[in-house]
Amino acid sequence: MTQYLLSVHSVEGAPLPSTDEMRQMFADVEVFNDELRSTGTWVFAGGLHPADTATVVRVSAGDVLMTDGPFAETKEQLGGFWVVEAADLDAALALAAKGAAACKAPVEVRAFDATPNIE
């Protein structure tokens, strides 16, 4: 089985869902999470605070520099994620479709790199 990252993207400036819509999204995501757990594909998942709450840490020549805000200056940011185990890309894409429907946001699918570390 391969592990895949299903990353949920949020779009800056997009209209915020109503309270009722948010409640429904949370309920739908929990149903999806329960399905992942019951089928053994669940590894880990989490939602993230907005990108403007991020701190970027850089190290250059031994100096540590911390800056507020997201690393990338873009309107689309990572809003949450699932790590799942799936037999292949098609299975991961099917899970992503269910996740996207549940959270009402785009979901990007990427396999974890299984290449061994080179010493």
68: domain CATH number is 3.30.70.1060
Question: What pLDDT does residue 114 have?
Answer: 77
> How many domains are there within the chain?
1
Burial label for 91, CB within 10 Å (0-12, 13-18, 19+), is: middle
Task: Confirm whether 118 is domain-assigned.
Answer: no
Q: What is the DSSP string of 42-66?
A: EEEEEE---GGG-EEEEEETTEEEE
Full domain range(s) for residue 107: 2-111
Question: What pLDDT does residue 119 have?
Answer: 65
Q: Percent of the chain, pLDDT > 70?
A: 97
Question: What pLDDT does residue 78 have?
Answer: 82
Task: Confirm whether 27 is domain-assigned.
Answer: yes
Task: Confirm whether 31 is domain-assigned.
Answer: yes
Write the pLDDT tens digit of every residue in 56-93: 999 999 999 998 877 777 777 788 999 999 999 999 99
Could you give the 3-state DSSP secondary structure of residue 78?
A: strand
Q: Is residue 107 scored above 80 in pLDDT? A: yes
The residue to which tokens 């993207």 are assigned: 9
Task: Confirm whether 19 is domain-assigned.
Answer: yes
Task: Confirm whether 11 is domain-assigned.
Answer: yes
Q: Which two tokens stand for residue 72?
A: 């990338």
The residue to which tokens 């991961």 are assigned: 92
